[in-house]
Chain A
Amino acid sequence: MKLWRWLWLLATLGVLAEGFHVALFVVPPDAQQGDVARVIYYHVPSWAGMGLFFAINLGCSLVYLAVRNRNQALAIKADSLAVASAEMGVVFCFIGLVTGSLWGRAVWGIWWTWDARLTSTLVLWLIYVAYLLLRRFAAGPQMRTLAAVMAIFGYLDVPLVYMSTRWWRTQHPAPVFGGAPGSGLDPSMMPAIWWNLAGWLMWGIFVASLRYVSEYRAQKAEQEAALRSLDFAPGQSAEQKLMAGGR
């Protein structure tokens, strides 16, 4: 692993440790819910991570579709980053669902309810799990094109999840961030949000960058093996091969 990755990991662990300390021992408990409301300091960064990585997945899928027939090198990079970001987004989304369920059980007395926010988020998670399953059990360039299209349609659920608590007033509380006037956390609680937000996003970037490297190497090796089987030199196009007399 390269030096900058070790330094990034070290900085990430430092920020996460500070975030953990501030969340549990520095900021005051919530006036109504008490200590259980501290779940928000891990719950909110999970949603932020999910939003970031699914947005990266969308961007990479669009790039892949745009360049797949013109620039193979860029297409492989975009597709590898799409896989890495989708997996990271699924992990963050799953953690958001689990921490939300644990928090809901303590505050509402129920593990789960089919309210607009929870249901749309579960559907989003299932869409991206299906995306990863498609990538796992199919192969070839058509699979990659299909996966990229699926990612674009899947992302349509993200704004729906975000707006669900604004459009429908069901079990989930009204938006805390960016909600109606007077909403939001007490300023004394914000340091715990910022530390954990920074820490978990840094963690996500670290893990996704490792995943990107392994996926990129695998796709590159797969492409080179395919070219070798067709007797192409690495980087040689069909036109170049014809010009060289089929060699």
Chain B
Amino acid sequence: MGDMGHRHLVLAYTATIVIHLVYLTFVALKYRAAKKAAK
């Protein structure tokens, strides 16, 4: 389990951060569009 355990630990942390950043990008684009529309 050693190597695979480490690989899966890294993957789990990476996946968490990447998924949150992808969603943040979507939210930021929506936020910018709403701000532009309000002007």
Contact = CB atoms under 8 A, between A and B. Distances in A.
Q: Do A and B come from one complex?
A: yes
A210 interface: yes
A105 interface: yes
B37 A103 contact: no
Interface in A22-70: 24, 33-36, 38-39, 42-43, 46
Contacts of A215: 30, 34
A102 B9 CA distance: 8
Interface residues of A, number: 34
A78 B12 CA distance: 34
B24 A39 contact: no
A162 interface: no
B23 to A, nearest CB: 5
Which of B4, B12, B30, B33 has the most A CB atoms < 10 Å from its CB?
B12
A211 B8 contact: no
Given A36-B5, A36-B6, A102 B23 contact: no
B9 to A, nearest CB: 5
A102 B11 contact: yes
Interface in A201-215: 203, 207, 210-211, 213-215
A33 B5 contact: yes
A137 to B, nearest CB: 17
A102 B37 contact: no
Contacts, number: 86
A105 B30 contact: no
Contacts of B8: 36, 39, 102-103, 105-106
A207 B30 contact: no
B20 A91 contact: yes
B13 A42 contact: yes
A193 to B, nearest CB: 15
A106 B16 contact: no
Contacts of A36: 1, 5-6, 8-9
B14 to A, nearest CB: 10
Contacts of B12: 39, 42-43, 98-99, 102-103
17 contacts: A1-B31, A34-B5, A39-B9, A43-B12, A95-B15, A98-B15, A102-B15, A103-B8, A106-B1, A207-B23, A207-B24, A210-B27, A210-B28, A210-B31, A211-B30, A214-B33, A221-B38
